[in-house]
Amino acid sequence: MADCPTWLEINLSAIEHNTHQILQRTGVPIMAVVKADAYGYGAEKVARAALSAGATWLAVARFSEALALRQLGIMAPLLVFGMVTPPEADAAIFHNVSLTLYSQEAAELYAARARALGKKARVHLKVDTGMGRFGVLEEDALFLAKQALELGGIEIEGIYSHFANIDSIPKDPLAPIQLRRFQVALESLRDAGIDPLWKHFSNSAAALGYPETRFNLVRVGAALLGIKPFYFEPFPDYLRRVVNWKAQLASCRLLPPGWGISYGHDYITQRDEVIGVVPIGYGDGFRRHPTNEVLVDGLRVPVVGRVCVDLCMVRLTRLLPLGSEVIILGEQGHESIFIENLASRWGTSQAAVTTAIHQRVPRIYIRD
């Protein structure tokens, strides 16, 4: 048991296992996506685990995340998905961080900074095939590529796109349409003699379920972290779960009938009830939702009353010692609460659940 009221236990051996499995199943190099502190798991640890297990590339959303990894001595090829400011572009070029080429303005910025530094800016051209986010439409890809090359100082080392629905719809009907658009962009570049080395489209779901989308690199976040790749399928037997969110029971008392619990007294005891206090609240990323549950004493118990910033109350079946293990995410006895269960209860995505777990919850790294 950790020496704190609540903590996240993250199994690095499981991340390595998942990396091996994905490498084996896809047969192509992996770009480990560690944006947003690797969805809350810790970007450095996840990056090192994935690289040690054979991942080739890393990716983040912001340049600040890339710089943090470089300053920790992580020198693997590294792509920034998002926008960079002019000073960030300078630093990215200096630190050999690859940037996303998604507009004419971005091309002009990268080219100007690269020329000023006397170095090449390495870029991956982003094609918007149906996400409506970064990128150019397939018919504009060649124009942007040519323009970037004519400006000078830019090396187009990659080209990529991103699926919108592939993890949430069986046999996603948009996927082949998106894929076709990407191929149109690739062919237009190829016809003009431009053939970027790295072609990538797949996220976790596409990499594992749609072999035709793998090209020569797959961008994998969720599956490395033991987050279910497909919302509509059970957890795959070849992946391992990675995270447990635990807490220690902070108080446990028998309260009389008619006793109001927490702000607003949304819950009032019906009889003599054992009410426990769990040291997790919405300040930790445990959302205020009317039907939360946790595991205590091998049982699934209801959270009663409103979730506070730092605490919530649970109705127990018997008095338990303080410090008893409470599971917010994980397994206890025959019961389990997994990321997908919390995500569907809260009506959000799995990555949104783990990414919102606040930094004050210590991350404890284990191996087995």
Ligand X SMILES: *Cc1c(COP(=O)(O)O)cnc(C)c1O
Contact footprint for ligand X (CB under 6 A): 33, 35, 81, 162, 203-204, 219-222
Q: To the nearest whole angstrom, how small is the minimum distance from the Cβ of residue 361 to ligand X? A: 21
Q: Is 199 a catalytic residue?
A: no
Q: Which two tokens stand for residue 151?
A: 């400006």
Say how far apart CA 218 and CA 32 lie, in whole Å. 8
Q: To the nearest whole angstrom, how small is the minimum distance from the Cβ of residue 84 to ligand X? A: 15
How long, in residues, is the chain? 368
Q: To the nearest whole angstrom, how small is the minimum distance from the Cβ of residue 139 to ligand X? A: 21
Alpha helix locations (H) across 128-173? 141-151
Say how far apart CA 75 and CA 97 lie, in whole Å. 9
Nearest to ligand X by Cβ — which residue?
A: 221
Say how far apart CA 239 and CA 20 lie, in whole Å. 10
Burial 151-188 (b: 16+ CB within 10 A, else e): bebbbbbbbbbbbbebbeeeebeebeebbebbebbbeb
Please state whether beta strands 299-304 and 312-316 pair in parallel, antiparallel, or not at all (unpaired).
antiparallel
Phi-psi category of 39—alpha, beta or left, where left has phi over 0 and alpha has psi -120 to 50? left
Q: To the nearest whole angstrom, how small is the minimum distance from the Cβ of residue 219 to ligand X? A: 4
- The residue among 92 and 316 lying less far from ligand X, judged by its C-beta, is 92
Tell me how many degrees the CA angle 205-206-210 measures, rounded to the nearest 5: 120
- The residue among 127 and 222 lying less far from ligand X, judged by its C-beta, is 222
Could you tell me which of 196, 216, 305, 319 has the C-alpha nearest to residue 259?
Answer: 305
Q: To the nearest whole angstrom, how small is the minimum distance from the Cβ of residue 116 to ligand X? A: 28
Query: At residue 130, what is the residue type?
Result: G
- The residue among 18 and 204 lying less far from ligand X, judged by its C-beta, is 204
Beta strands in 70-229 (DSSP E): 78-80, 99-101, 121-126, 154-160, 198-200, 218-220
Q: To the nearest whole angstrom, how small is the minimum distance from the Cβ of residue 62 to ligand X? A: 12
Say how far apart CA 86 and CA 115 lie, in whole Å. 13
Say how far apart CA 60 and CA 69 lie, in whole Å. 10
Say how far apart CA 350 and CA 39 lie, in whole Å. 9
Q: Is 39 a catalytic residue?
A: no
Q: Which of 110, 263, 267, 282 is catalytic?
A: 263
Q: Which of 35, 126, 199, 228 is catalytic?
A: 35
- The residue among 292 and 350 lying less far from ligand X, judged by its C-beta, is 350
- The residue among 202 and 269 lying less far from ligand X, judged by its C-beta, is 202
- The residue among 35 and 113 lying less far from ligand X, judged by its C-beta, is 35
Q: Which two tokens stand for residue 253?
A: 């008392």
- The residue among 123 and 294 lying less far from ligand X, judged by its C-beta, is 123
Q: To the nearest whole angstrom, how small is the minimum distance from the Cβ of residue 212 to ligand X? A: 17
Largest CA distance in the chain: 79
Q: Could you list the active site residues?
A: 35, 263
